[in-house]
Amino acid sequence: MEDSRYKKLQRVYIVLILLVSFTPLFLLGGIMYYQVAKTYRIKIEEQIRYRAISQTDSIDLFLKERTAILAAIADTVNFDQILDEKNLLKIFEIINLRAGAFVDLGVIDQAGQHRAYVGPYELRGLNYFQQPWFSEVMTKGVYISDVFTGFRASPHFIIAIRRQEDKNCWILRTTIDPDIFGGIVRSAQIGKTGDAFIVNKEGTYQTTPRFYGNILGKTDIDPSKFGGLTTVNEEINSQGEKRLTAGRWLKNKTWLLIISQDVSEEMGGLLQTRNQEIAIILVGSILIILTTVITTRLTVAKLEEADTRMNELNAKLLQSDKLAALGKMAAGVAHEINNPLAVILQKTGWMEDLLEDEALKNSKEIVEYRASLKKIEEHVERARKVVHNMLGYARKMEPRLEDVDINETLRQTISMLENYARLNSIEVKTILSPDIPIIASDQSQLQQVFLNIISNAIDATGRDGLIEVKSAVGETTIDVMIADNGPGIQEEQQKRIFDPFFTTKQTGKGTGLGLWITYNIVEKLGGSISFNSEVGRGTTFTVKIPNAPPTEK
């Protein structure tokens, strides 16, 4: 029963300490991780956004350069000159040498007829009038197409410039090498999972992506989600991978550059940080648990030990109270029995005296009478011995005079009660006069007196109290004052506190004999005991012990 009480206490302590330790630890760990993850996320978003911007810029520049070159040619040569394929070839060679990425170069008249061509395909004589891009370039003047297959049945895109020459107008058109263009776009692919490609407004691939798709195929990406500036989204693709996607429209507003990266690859560094943090918390937790369990066990064990010692001391006090009471009773019983025994003994003696009378001496029954009287005397003697043995105990309670140092006795008594006081957070202060002489008294009985009063003071004060023990030399006595700041004694109880069996403690906690014994001991030692109590302020007991000089030896 007791055992489980301490086990329960131990469990409560452990749970409380762990709760108090772990809550901030986990909270701190969580917040730190959240903050680091947030910062990390912002950082990689910034990186991918930056890559999108710079890559868009270089693609824009590439297209602008090609468009500018084409426009410069169209503006400087006239229709007749450009129709001469020797001139066209020369121009084609020069621009490929200077800028590159031109697959072919062709001239189309305003009727859509392909009039001159330099390049690997056989396109001469084809009519583009029905091609959608033809009307576009005729109206806008400059045109960059989406990727399409066209006559040559292979994906490509073109740049076309319209030249207005008086009433006549013609178109200079070139095909951009899809491999070179695709290469520029792909140069933004980073790491194992990085991808970079261009889609048009309809979500059709304009360059071949690195994963899961082909040029002119359809993407999962919805281009409308990407606004005017660079937009960074987190997308989950058809494969279920979380990808961070940055999109930026090129200057022509028809192509969208997409740079994407697998989130888990980018967040790899964070994952490592997280694992480190978890490891630290795990090690810390193990240490906390170990420390908590060990220290709690030690503390509870100490508490249990102190309790046990206190219980033992209480039991001893209770026992000595009982024994002292028994001694008192024995003395009283002895007196009450010895008196009638004395009368019986004298009456038998008187009968024996009477039997000496001459007349009775000759009686037939004289021997029988005498034997009977002897038997009575024998039994009186037997009863007397029983009482005598009982008194032997009572005699033990008699004070024995010896040399007593009151201060030392007080110190010893207080040290016996030190643990008990500490458990109740009660301070026991001593103000002992150094002038107390050695006196003739009974040390163990005085100790019993002080023990009773001080332990009563501790019990009465309850918790967080102060007990002051003072010693002083009086006129003919040594005075010991024991003051507590407990609740005091109710007035109606004050008259009764020295009565036997009077107690304010719970049944079983006190016999109600402590102060009665104390009173009797002090009386027997020739001293006196008194008290002064004020309800709510405390009680002071004063014990006056005769200042008797020690017997000379």
Q: Which is nearer to other proteins, 17 or 345 (CB)?
A: 345
DSSP letter assigned to residue 145: P
Q: Which is nearer to other proteins, 218 or 335 (CB)?
A: 335
Which of 229-237, 240-248, 345-353, 533-541 is the region at the interface with other proteins (rule: CB under 8 A)? 345-353
Query: What count of other Cβ atoms lies within 10 Å of the Cβ of residue 551?
Result: 9
Show the binding pattern over residues 443-482: x = contacts other proteins (CB under 8 A), - = does not: ----------------------------------------
User: Residues near 478 by Cβ (< 8 Å), separated by ≥ 6?
Assistant: 406, 436, 437, 439, 471, 472, 544, 545, 546, 547
346 near other proteins, rule: CB under 8 A? yes
Show the binding pattern over residues 355-384: x = contacts other proteins (CB under 8 A), - = does not: -------------------x--xx-xxx-x
Strand partners, 99: none
Q: Which is nearer to other proteins, 267 or 446 (CB)?
A: 446
In this structure, the strands spanning 427-432 and 466-473 are parallel
Q: Which is nearer to other proteins, 252 or 346 (CB)?
A: 346
Q: Which is nearer to other proteins, 50 or 350 (CB)?
A: 350
411 near other proteins, rule: CB under 8 A? no
Residue 96 CA from chain centroid, whole number: 71
227 near other proteins, rule: CB under 8 A? no
* 195 within 8 A of 52, measured Cβ to Cβ: no
Q: Which of 207, 118, 105, 203 is nearest to 158 (CA)?
A: 105
Dihedral angle of Cα 117, 122, 124, 129, to the nearest 10 degrees = -110
Q: Which is nearer to other proteins, 309 or 328 (CB)?
A: 328
Dihedral angle of Cα 39, 43, 46, 52, to the nearest 10 degrees = -140
Tokens of 181: 């263009």
CA distance 99 to 58: 14
CA distance 550 to 553: 9
Q: Which is nearer to other proteins, 8 or 388 (CB)?
A: 388
388 near other proteins, rule: CB under 8 A? yes
Among 395, 495, 505, 537, the residue binding other proteins under the rule CB under 8 A is 395
323 near other proteins, rule: CB under 8 A? no
Among 385, 495, 505, 509, the residue binding other proteins under the rule CB under 8 A is 385
CA distance 498 to 514: 8
Q: Which is nearer to other proteins, 399 or 550 (CB)?
A: 399
Tokens of 309: 């010692």
Among 48, 394, 416, 480, the residue binding other proteins under the rule CB under 8 A is 394
**b/e sequence 231-258, b meaning 16+ C-beta within 10 Å:** bbbebebeeebebbbbbbbbeeebbbbb
Q: Which is nearer to other proteins, 77 or 397 (CB)?
A: 397
CA distance 193 to 261: 6
Query: What count of other Cβ atoms lies within 10 Å of the Cβ of residue 229?
Result: 9
Q: Which is nearer to other proteins, 399 or 546 (CB)?
A: 399
**Could you tell me the smallest distance in angstroms from the CB atom of residue 388 to other proteins?**
7
Q: Which is nearer to other proteins, 392 or 474 (CB)?
A: 392
Q: Which is nearer to other proteins, 67 or 445 (CB)?
A: 445
In this structure, the strands spanning 102-109 and 114-118 are antiparallel
180: left (phi over 0), alpha (psi -120 to 50) or beta: alpha
**Could you tell me the smallest distance in angstroms from the CB atom of residue 342 to other proteins?**
4
Among 142, 288, 344, 440, the residue binding other proteins under the rule CB under 8 A is 344
**Could you tell me the smallest distance in angstroms from the CB atom of residue 398 to other proteins?**
5
CA distance 231 to 131: 34
**Could you tell me the smallest distance in angstroms from the CB atom of residue 397 to other proteins?**
10
**Helix residue ranges per DSSP H, 243-365:** 263-266, 268-355, 358-361
Q: Which of residues 487-546 bind other proteins (CB under 8 A)?
A: 524
Among 54, 264, 339, 490, the residue binding other proteins under the rule CB under 8 A is 339
User: Residues near 343 by Cβ (< 8 Å), separated by ≥ 6?
Assistant: none
Which of 67-75, 204-212, 236-244, 342-350 is the region at the interface with other proteins (rule: CB under 8 A)? 342-350
Dihedral angle of Cα 11, 14, 20, 23, to the nearest 10 degrees = -90
Among 332, 437, 462, 474, the residue binding other proteins under the rule CB under 8 A is 332
Which of 187-195, 283-291, 336-344, 496-504 is the region at the interface with other proteins (rule: CB under 8 A)? 336-344
Among 3, 80, 353, 475, the residue binding other proteins under the rule CB under 8 A is 353
Hey, what amino acid is at 424? N
CA distance 243 to 469: 80
* 545 within 8 A of 528, measured Cβ to Cβ: no
345 near other proteins, rule: CB under 8 A? yes
CA distance 184 to 250: 14
Interface with other proteins (CB under 8 A), residue total 31
**Could you tell me the smallest distance in angstroms from the CB atom of residue 382 to other proteins?**
6
**Could you tell me the smallest distance in angstroms from the CB atom of residue 9 to other proteins?**
49
Q: Which is nearer to other proteins, 384 or 496 (CB)?
A: 384
* 436 within 8 A of 407, measured Cβ to Cβ: yes
**Could you tell me the smallest distance in angstroms from the CB atom of residue 377 to other proteins?**
8
Question: Given the rule CB under 8 A, which residues bind other proteins?
Answer: 331-332, 334-335, 338-339, 341-347, 349-350, 353, 374, 377-378, 380-382, 384-385, 388, 391, 394-395, 398-399, 524
